[in-house]
């Protein structure tokens, strides 16, 4: 998907919500587990249908599928196909956090962009340029590089100071030079919203994928205050708060209500 189309969808829906599809069979409502062979896929379909009107992106985290082996991988493929067929205007992020030497990164890029038809994949930057660049060579596809994550361990390395600058800023600055605002985004955790000021000085125009609002304690208001740009420039991801809003027969309805609630809050940031 092009940047222009993503921005168009955001403005149309007055939403920059991304729904994280992290299906955990220990949390999926019992009646779904009893009803169907492919529990994960059925659960996802219902969540997708209920939340699609209020979000502009979906983000399956591949770990939650790989954990179930071949059948999990099938659920992931079916989920992505379902979204692409029924909601072709939604931006699809494979949250895989990959990154390897050049020829291996190319294999991953082909897997996620060509085979699975994802619009974007999340990338771990530790291995440097040749691990990131292969993901930038596909038309209208995106690499979303981990900048500053929302977890506690983000302080272990990402916030180390190098020549008066935190490593995550160095990572963002360096990676931004390998791509551009049409093929690269950054993951920036919402739990460190005030750090967005410095990030926005480095990359005023890039989109940021922001996890950590809700379950991990981040605030939508804070993120918007420091992170919005002229094109909105944010995709705020919520997973658990939405997909596990309920765990009975009406779980999808409750997920939709939760997504709408966030969408309603987001509408304030549009003229």
For a second copy, the binding residues in 161-180 under the rule CB under 8 A are 161-162, 167, 170-171, 174
Dihedral pair phi/psi, residue 128, rounded to 5°: 80, -165
The residue assigned the tokens 């990676």 is 175
Span near a second copy by CB under 8 A; candidates 3-11, 30-38, 58-66, 219-227: 58-66
Catalytic residue among 84, 97, 133, 225: 97
| Residue pair 108/116 in contact by the 8 Å Cβ criterion | no
Q: Is 11 a catalytic residue?
A: no
- The answer to the question of residue 137 lying near a second copy (CB under 8 A) is no
**Which run of H or E residues covers position 199?**
helix 196-202
Dihedral through CA 108, CA 170, CA 18, CA 66, nearest 10? 30
| Residue pair 64/22 in contact by the 8 Å Cβ criterion | yes
Distance CA 201, CA 140 (A): 25
For a second copy, the binding residues in 192-251 under the rule CB under 8 A are none
- The answer to the question of residue 61 lying near a second copy (CB under 8 A) is yes
Considering beta carbons, is residue 73 or 82 the nearer one to a second copy? 73
Considering beta carbons, is residue 164 or 271 the nearer one to a second copy? 164
Q: State the minimum distance, in angstroms, from the CB of residue 100 to a second copy.
A: 6
Distance CA 199, CA 177 (A): 14
Considering beta carbons, is residue 50 or 175 the nearer one to a second copy? 175
Among positions 7, 14, 38, 111, the unique one binding a second copy when judged by CB under 8 A: 111
Among positions 8, 49, 74, 173, the unique one binding a second copy when judged by CB under 8 A: 74
Dihedral pair phi/psi, residue 254, rounded to 5°: -65, -35
Q: Which of 151, 141, 162 is nearest to 215 (CA)?
A: 151
Residue 185 token pair: 């985004």
DSSP 115: I
- The answer to the question of residue 79 lying near a second copy (CB under 8 A) is no
* E strand segments, 178-223: 184-188, 208-210
Q: State the minimum distance, in angstroms, from the CB of residue 251 to a second copy.
A: 19
Distance CA 175, CA 153 (A): 21
Contacts with a second copy by CB under 8 A: the residue count is 55
- The answer to the question of residue 22 lying near a second copy (CB under 8 A) is yes
Q: State the minimum distance, in angstroms, from the CB of residue 235 to a second copy.
A: 17
Among positions 30, 126, 180, 264, the unique one binding a second copy when judged by CB under 8 A: 126
Considering beta carbons, is residue 33 or 228 the nearer one to a second copy? 33
Q: State the minimum distance, in angstroms, from the CB of residue 223 to a second copy.
A: 17
What's the angle, vertex CA 49, arms to CA 43 and CA 51, rounded to 5? Answer: 100
| Residue pair 119/141 in contact by the 8 Å Cβ criterion | yes
Applying CB under 8 A, the residues found at the interface with a second copy are 22, 24, 61, 63-64, 66-70, 72-74, 77, 97-102, 104-105, 107-108, 110-111, 115-116, 124-132, 146, 149-158, 160-162, 167, 170-171, 174
């Amino acid at each position: 998907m092009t940047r222009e189309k993503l921005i168009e969808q955001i403005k149309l829906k007055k939403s920059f919500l991304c729904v994280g599809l992290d299906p955990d069979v220990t949390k999926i409502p019992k009646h779904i587990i009893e009803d169907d062979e492919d529990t994960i896929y059925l659960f996802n379909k219902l969540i997708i249908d209920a939340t699609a009107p209020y979000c502009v992106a979906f983000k399956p985290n591949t770990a939650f599928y790989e954990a179930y082996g071949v059948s999990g991988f099938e659920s992931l493929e079916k989920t992505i196909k379902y979204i692409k067929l029924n909601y072709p205007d939604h931006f699809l992020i494979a949250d895989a956090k990959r990154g390897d030497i050049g020829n291996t990164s190319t294999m991953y890029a082909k897997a996620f962009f060509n085979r699975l038809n994802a619009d974007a994949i999340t990338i771990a930057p530790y291995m440097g340029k040749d691990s990131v660049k292969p993901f930038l060579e596909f038309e209208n596809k995106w690499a979303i590089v981990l900048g500053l994550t929302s977890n506690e361990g983000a302080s272990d390395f990402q916030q180390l100071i190098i020549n008066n600058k935190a490593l995550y800023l160095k990572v963002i600055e360096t990676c931004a030079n390998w791509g551009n605002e049409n093929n690269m985004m950054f993951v920036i955790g919402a739990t460190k919203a005030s750090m967005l000021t410095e990030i926005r000085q480095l990359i005023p125009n890039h989109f940021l994928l922001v996890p950590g609002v809700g379950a991990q304690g981040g605030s939508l208001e804070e993120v918007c205050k420091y992170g919005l740009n002229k094109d909105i420039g944010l995709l705020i991801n919520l997973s658990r708060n939405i997909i596990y809003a309920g765990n009975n027969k009406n779980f999808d309805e409750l997920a939709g209500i939760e997504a709408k609630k966030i969408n309603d809050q987001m509408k304030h940031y549009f003229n």
